[in-house]
Amino acid sequence: MRTDGVFIGIEVDDAALAAEPGLARHLDTVCPVDIYKEVGDGGLEIVERNVDECVLCRLCLDLAQLDVGQDAVRVLKLYDGGATLE
């Protein structure tokens, strides 16, 4: 799943979401600017209008790392040639 704002792109691995039912809820809880929203049971919606509010806090990356391991969530700096937030 991928949603791009003007400045920030968000990529969430659909397979990871399917494999880890708690991931969507955790993302919803952890994001300080409400980019992630859990829908239904374990489904995830990326809230389009909040994507550019991303403060590059890495909380979602750390959380995905804990939940499912490498690269399940990627934050892209579209203003920096699409560089991923490390």
Partner 1 sequence: MRFFEYEAREIVKRAGIPVTDFGFTTDAAQARAIAERIGGPTVIKSQVLTGGRMKAGGVKFADTPEEAARHAADILELEINGHMPRGVLVDPKANVKQEYYAGVVWDGTAKKPVILFSDMGGIDIEQVAEEHPDHVGRVHLSNLMPISDHKAKECIAQTGVTGKALQRLTPIVRRLAQLFVDNDMVLAEINPLCEMHDGTFVALDAHMDMESEARGRHKQLLKDLGVGDDETRLAREPTPFELAGEEVDGSDHRGVAGNVTEFDGNIGLVIGAGGGSLTLFDAVRAHGGEPANYCEIGGNPSVQKTCGLAKLVLTKPGVDKIAVMMSIVSNTRVDIVARGVIKACLELGFDPAEKIAIFRIPGAWEEEGFKILAKYGIEYADRSVSMHEAARRAVAKIAGPDAVAV
Binding site for partner 1 (CB under 8 A): 6-7, 33, 49, 52-53, 55-56, 77, 79-80
Q: Which is nearer to partner 1, 5 or 73 (CB)?
A: 5
CA-to-CA separations, 17 to 20, 55, 63, in angstroms, rounded: 5, 23, 13
Kindly tell me the burial class for residue 10, based on how many C-beta atoms sit within 10 Å of its own C-beta (0-12, 13-18, 19 or more).
buried
Q: Which is nearer to partner 1, 6 or 15 (CB)?
A: 6
Q: Which is nearer to partner 1, 14 or 48 (CB)?
A: 48
Q: How far is the CB of 70 from partner 1 (least distance, A)?
A: 24
Q: What angle do CA 82, 84, 86 make, to 5 degrees?
A: 155
Q: How far is the CB of 33 from partner 1 (least distance, A)?
A: 8
Q: How far is the CB of 68 from partner 1 (least distance, A)?
A: 27
Tokens representing residue 47 in the block: 């809230």
